[in-house]
Amino acid sequence: MISTLVGYMARRNFSRVMQFQEGKTPFLPAVQSGQPRLLYLHVPFCERLCPYCSFNRFVFEEGRCRDYFSALRREIRLYREKGYDFGGVYVGGGTPTILLDELEETLELVRRCFSIREVSVETNPNHLTPERLDRLSRMGINRLSVGVQSFNDGLLKAMDRYDKYGSGAEIMERLQLAQGRFDTLNADMIFNFPSQDMAMLERDLDILLDLGVDQVTWYPLMVSDSTRKVVTRTLGRVSMEREKAFYERIRERLGGEYRFSSAWCFSRKGTMIDEYIVDYDEYAGLGSGSIGYLDGVCYANTFDLAEYCKRLGEDELPLMAARTFTLEERMRYDFVMKLFSTRLNHSELTAKYGGRLSPWLWLDLILFLLVGALRYSAPDWQLTRRGCYLWVVIMREFFTAVNNFRDFCRADTPATDRPLPLSRIQEQVHE
């Protein structure tokens, strides 16, 4: 009951916040010193599109992809010219490792332009070959995040990942090849598939514990408005009834060998995580369809690939929308994101806002205390076991709201620049 109510309230709040302002020219905030910032780079090309994914992504075409990387590097230079600096870079997608020479050139530029201390890159299991791994390691990548999702062959086939990315057994072998080549090897997993049962989950847990990967990110299946029909057709209707039971089992099994980096990320050591918003107060989003948050301004780049490349060819930032958060919204954002790491330093939060917090935020704190989601141990607010699951629910609704915003943005792109529906992609594969 409590999780349903929390989910409903989070859904309403995040849906409102992700309504970007119309009629106003989006802008990049002026550089503010002293804030830890992350640079996010989006590579929107995949060999195959997964039915549950709402990120801005397109079927890979080499020429188009190379043009895109060239535009992305122009955008990086514009941020440098504006005086921005970044301590870390996260390259997501899409499949960032789809053209290694372009990725390498881009990371070299990033290191020349900014004070980069850590580099995280996403990839898919089929790219974990000895040759590719050698090259990725030489690039100085600290963390490699692999989109596994599940080791169950039935689920992989339903996700349209089996043929392209390999069977569960093949993925295991490839993860073993990648072990020890990077400071952190992360396995990206999903739970609460409609056809998933507890036995499937237990087997995935057994495999991961046997492999001993450095980090496991295990988040619930999230369905946006645009993907709901195709997810229902290919995977089945998503139910929230088993979500908590699945999560509690994951928490129980991994909690003995890993520490919590977030409510759904389990790490053997301190390192960057997929949800970089936990460790970085501010982040710049570069690339088509990227979303950034700088100095209280949330902004998005155009989702139109042609428009993205055209505007950068004219040395213009490809911004399409922005929203300036109110003071209360900024406080709530920090409250939610920092507690996602399972603890929030009260003194640091109040100091950031001049020693005072919104009365509404205090009300949130009291309510979560009353339902047993939080406890206070000076100087930190900490999530309880119950609170960890409630934050899974909250963050599920947050990312769903972001995905719905992406859907809204894609609706305004030309038909030729929209990702093909899964059904059409499958037709092309078999033609």
What CATH number is attached to the domain comprising 152? 3.80.30.20
Q: Is residue 54 part of a domain?
A: yes
Question: How many DSSP H helices and E strands does the chain contain?
Answer: 16, 17
Report residue 294 as tokens.
């700088």
Cβ–Cβ under 8 Å, residues 70 and 287: no
Closest CA to 43 of 103, 117, 101, 110: 103
Q: What is the DSSP letter of 28?
A: P
Cβ–Cβ under 8 Å, residues 146 and 123: yes
Q: Which residues, 6+ apart, have CB-to-CB distance to 33 below 8 Å? A: none
Give the range of the structural domain holding residue 74, as residue numbers without chain letter: 24-281
The number of folded domains in the chain is 1
Q: Is residue 165 part of a domain?
A: yes
As a whole number of angstroms, the distance between CA 183 and CA 200 comes to: 29
Instruction: Per-residue pLDDT tens, the chain, 431 aa: give them.
Output: 788 888 878 888 888 888 876 667 888 988 877 677 999 999 999 987 777 777 888 889 999 999 999 999 999 999 999 999 999 999 999 999 999 999 999 999 999 999 999 999 999 999 999 999 999 999 999 999 999 999 999 999 988 889 989 999 999 999 999 999 999 999 999 999 999 999 999 999 999 999 999 999 999 998 877 677 777 777 778 788 899 999 999 999 999 999 999 999 999 987 778 777 778 889 999 999 999 999 999 999 999 999 999 999 999 999 999 999 999 999 999 999 999 999 999 999 999 899 888 888 899 889 999 999 999 988 899 999 999 999 999 999 998 888 888 877 776 665 444 443 333 323 333 33
Q: Is residue 66 part of a domain?
A: yes
Q: Is residue 158 part of a domain?
A: yes
Cβ–Cβ under 8 Å, residues 390 and 6: yes
Q: Is residue 391 part of a domain?
A: no
Q: Is residue 356 part of a domain?
A: no
Q: What is the DSSP letter of 126?
A: G
Q: What is the pTM of this model?
A: 0.91
As a whole number of angstroms, the distance between CA 426 and CA 431 comes to: 9
Q: Is residue 51 part of a domain?
A: yes
Supply φ then ψ for residue 194, to 5 degrees.
-55, -35
